[in-house]
Amino acid sequence: MKKTISIITFLFIFSSLGLFAQWQGAGTEENPFKIFTVDDLNAIREQEDNPLYSALGPFGYNVPYTNIHFELMNNIEDSLTQKLCSKFGGHFHGKGHFISLNFNNSDYYLNNLIGEVIGGTIDSLRLEGNMFNSMGIFGAADVGEIDNLICNVNFTPFVNELNAKLYVFSAGSSADGVIFKNCINYSNINMPAKKYIHCGLFWGFAGNLEGMINYGDFNVETTEESIVEAHVFSEFLSVGTIKNCINYGNVTINGIPHTANVSLFTSVSSGFSFDDNKITNCLNTGNVYAKKVDYLGAFANLNAGWIYNCVNTGRLIGDKIAGGIVGENYEYGLVENCLNAGYIQGDSIVGGIVAVNNGGTVKNNLSLSRTSKYSVFGDSISNSQQQFPDSLMFENNFYDKQLLTQMSSPQGDILENNAAKGLLTTDITGFALQEILGDGWSYAEGRYPIPLGLENDSMALVAATPVYLHFETEDDYNHVDSVTKDFTVGLENSVVWNETYGRVSFDDEYASLLSLGYENLVVNLGDYKKEVYINILDIETSIMEESITKNGIIYPNPASEFINIKLDGISADKLEICDISGKLLLSQTITNNYQQIQIKDLKRGMYFLKIYDKNQNIKTLKFVKN
């Protein structure tokens, strides 16, 4: 009998919802309430205290709209001017439509979309318009799931006499049951100069971020009294994961504040075991320019969690301690299968992978970019090995010694367990390191290894495209600060190479040296690029020495339309033009001591002119098509 009464009560409630609702539909998953207009949205706020729309939430008290479904039927172009509701435990399905916002209330509590998400879900929604005097879209998100929320809002942050604060997605602390996934931020964050400045996408975060993308730039104005907290994804990650997330945005701290704490993925990763806290398969291409920053790392400033299979290509310009992956690694911290290809700068301790080792494990990482100090570790690992003999492991951390001219650490290369070791480019690329680095990486001919899971990302592919400078032996090789021989470049994945100053000529994968001085090599793949600076100190064989010989001369050289060949006393039958790979491009008979050859159809680059006498003896001259 009681069971029958319960069923009748349940059916009565839902029939009542449909009978008295402000919206079309029944509020069920199968037949959600329909949102057509801004008035339909305002009705959510107006009915928030209606007990018909409230039920027991995840924390043991009633939450408005728990178990109730809404769906957006079209774009809302008339502006919503204040929040939907203070607390929301329901399900809002945007269906790919947008809501136009124009929040400009004197009370900043009215200038967020929802005050607190408690057990609810929001999906497939785009937000446009303006949010003035706002701390962010949600006051807090405690339990629930936010999926495919796209933010393209013009924000003006909350400010008062002392403070400026804006966290785009969530301004409150999040519980470990909340999930944000596949959300995109296009909004720039511009913070005025105040004594206390707080900004980012999230405040503290204890849930899971997956597939998040940030395109927004952070620009923070400061005074000498300013205390800055600027963090793209999270200020601190206490329990949870950041997975498959990408940051394209730059963080710029303008002026010199009193202090600044700046991070891209998290400032503090504070898990006490590897299962508590992970940052995995993440990419950063954003740059950081900040003064008064004590610690700076692309994925964590201070790490006691697990960071693996991540790639950084951004420039990190800090003030003191800076690491390409992590600023300081603690006893429980793990940094594994990560690639740094971004320039790292600091005034104190700087490492291409980790700056300061204070315990923890650092293994199977690659460093492919210069720093202002050391290419792998910023400090000596011997002190850490003595202090944490049981928990510490350093192994298989490599850098390209033809690309990076700094030592790997203050100790130099650490050969035991390959803790920090320089290799020639050809000893890193392709499958050369597969047996050493293992299955946490993706390998392919013609490129550096890429952390597994990121091998199809264009940004990672550009970072992994090599320059193969000349080498004779392990100890006799060209490097970027001393280039004296022609070289080759990687062409996998349809990348395109260009030079900046005209001192190098490309012909497919072949690069010919034309003149002395600095050159900037640029490789492009779609919208992504990488730059490699080289210093040409000598040319393999001077053009003039090759072209002005005892009995022959080529002019003009370099040339664009034609070359003249003057043969003083040479008995010659024919000539050939070959590219630097030896491919025959032209062959013709020599009829007199003066020949003019059209070269306008040749690509830019270095070529060889071969002159044959009657006995098939060859004289080889070099010229350049520009």
The DSSP-derived string for 427-456 is GTSTTTTHHHHGGGEE--TTS--EETT-TT
Residue 348 lies in a domain: yes
Residue 65 lies in a domain: no
The pLDDT value given to residue 9: 44
Same domain, 323 and 348: yes
Interstrand relation of 311-312 and 189-191 (parallel, antiparallel or unpaired): unpaired
Q: Which residues 6+ apart lie within 8 Å of 152 measured at CB?
A: 126, 127, 128, 186, 187
Same domain, 452 and 410: yes
Nearest CA-CA partner of 309 in 299, 317, 301 = 299
Last residue of a domain, one of 438, 463, 488: 463
Same domain, 316 and 439: yes
Position 199: which residue type?
A: C
Q: Find the CATH number of the domain harbouring 552.
A: 2.60.40.3080
Specify which residues 555 forms β-bridges with. Answer: 564
Give this prediction's pTM: 0.84
Residue 599 lies in a domain: yes
Same domain, 217 and 318: yes
Q: In what order do the strands lie in the sheet with 562-567?
A: 552-555, 562-567, 594-598
Residue pair 506/604 in contact (Cβ under 8 Å)? The answer is yes
Angle at Cα 94 formed by Cα 88 and Cα 98, nearest 5°? Answer: 110
Nearest CA-CA partner of 388 in 437, 425, 333 = 333
C-alpha span between 98 and 77 (Å, rounded)? 8
| Residue 459 φ then ψ, to 5° | -65, -40
Residue 158 lies in a domain: no
Residue 607 lies in a domain: yes
Residue pair 338/303 in contact (Cβ under 8 Å)? The answer is no
| Residue 501 φ then ψ, to 5° | -110, 5
Same domain, 548 and 588: yes
Q: What is the three-state SS of 279-327?
A: EECCEECCCEECCCECEEECCEEEECCEEECCEECCCEECCCEEECCEE
Alpha carbon separation from 59 to 118, 142, 508 (Å, rounded):
8, 10, 64
Same domain, 300 and 371: yes
The pLDDT value given to residue 422: 98
Listed in sequence order, the DSSP H helices in 336-484 are 382-387, 434-437, 458-463
Last residue of a domain, one of 510, 536, 562: 536
Same domain, 228 and 252: yes
Low-confidence ranges of the chain (pLDDT < 50): 1-19, 272-274, 541-550
- Copy the structure tokens of residue 574: 């024919």
Written as one string, the DSSP assignment of 321-345 is EEESSEEEEEEEEEEES-EE-S-EE
Residue 327 lies in a domain: yes
Nearest CA-CA partner of 494 in 533, 522, 455, 462 = 462
Residue 161 lies in a domain: no
The pLDDT value given to residue 456: 96
Q: Which residues 6+ apart lie within 8 Å of 419 measured at CB?
A: 381, 394, 395, 397
Examine residue 558 and say whether the peptide bond preceding it is cis (omega within 30 degrees of 0). yes
**How many domains are contained in the chain?**
3
Domain that holds residue 617: 543-625
Same domain, 435 and 578: no
Query: How many Å is the maximal CA-CA distance in the chain?
Result: 120
Same domain, 529 and 555: no
Residue 513 lies in a domain: yes
Same domain, 446 and 477: no
Same domain, 348 and 206: yes
Burial group, residue 27, by CB count within 10 angstroms (0-12, 13-18, 19+): buried
Burial 256-270 (b: 16+ CB within 10 A, else e): ebeebbbbbbbbbbb
Residue pair 89/55 in contact (Cβ under 8 Å)? The answer is yes
Nearest CA-CA partner of 293 in 373, 361, 227, 382 = 227
Last residue of a domain, one of 487, 502, 536: 536
Q: Which residues 6+ apart lie within 8 Å of 371 measured at CB?
A: 322, 324, 343, 344, 345, 350, 351, 352, 404, 406
The pLDDT value given to residue 15: 46
Same domain, 498 and 595: no
The pLDDT value given to residue 10: 43
Nearest CA-CA partner of 355 in 391, 390, 319, 389 = 319
